[in-house]
Amino acid sequence: MATSNGAPTVAAALRILSFMAAQQGPVAAATLARSLDLPRSSVYRLLAELAGQGFVLHFPEARRYGLGIAAFELSSGYVRQEPVTRLGRPVLAALVDRVGESAHLAVLAGREVVYLVEERAPRRPALVTDVGVRLPSHLTASGRALLAALPREQVRALFPDPSAFTRRGTVTHTAAGLRSELVATRARGYAVEDGEITEGLASVAVAVRDRSGWPVCSLALTFPAGDVDEARRSGFVEVLLRHAADLRRRLHGS
């Protein structure tokens, strides 16, 4: 069956669900029709079908529709199947094979990054970024890549005052310093860290985003700082960006 404008019913239903998932709260059917360029009659029919399957809830007093429990169950199933870890591991292995340096995949958890996958290159030193390790996000290349991809307001909410910054060594970190670091990260397109976690080791990292631009995870390479000149580091970044794009396609299909 197809909607009257020729769009397949399944595709239209998925567009409705995707649009609703990106909103802050329930939306009116007229908003869906206008935003998605669908006939209002088709939107009402699809909403009724989705509500019947539990994917949509109708709030009659507000004349709006929101996501239902079935949509939550889908997202929970996605999390249980660990797609980022499963799909990221072969990408990370290919990255290490390509550059010969150790790599890791991390996600943001509050003010920290959690490392989900680590792939150590042969004859390279052990890293502190083992699977399950948490580190302050503002100190790591992985964390900086993810923070730079967040709205500035959210970064301010995560680091509202000096007490939010974990100290490491003798360096004092501030909100102004973090803002400056994230501005530089956005400008260059990747994050850097040099000796702030482990003396003598440097890292470069990039964020992998979803379709809405939200950071899902980061990919990073770590290497002995003294062994890598600027030209080789730039080469690392190019390869890292290609593998991040590959992981994005694996996760989101585009």
Task: Give the tens place of pLDDT for each residue, 165-178.
Answer: 877 665 667 888 99
Residues contacting residue 107 through CB under 8 Å, at least 6 positions apart: 84, 113, 114, 116, 146, 216, 217, 218
Three-state SS annotation for 147-196: HHCCCHHHHHHHCCCHHHCCCECCECCCHHHHHHHHHHHHHHCCEEEECC
Q: Is the pTM of this model over 0.85?
A: no
Write out pLDDT tens, residues 123-182. Answer: 777 777 777 888 999 999 999 999 999 998 889 888 888 888 877 665 667 888 999 999
Query: Which domains can be identified in the chain, with CATH numbers?
Result: 5-75 (1.10.10.10), 82-252 (3.30.450.40)
Write out pLDDT tens, residues 185-218. Answer: 999 999 999 988 888 899 999 999 988 788 989 9
Q: Cα(198)–Cα(184) distance, rounded to whole angstroms? A: 22
Write out pLDDT tens, residues 52-92. Answer: 988 999 998 889 999 888 887 676 555 554 778 889 999 99
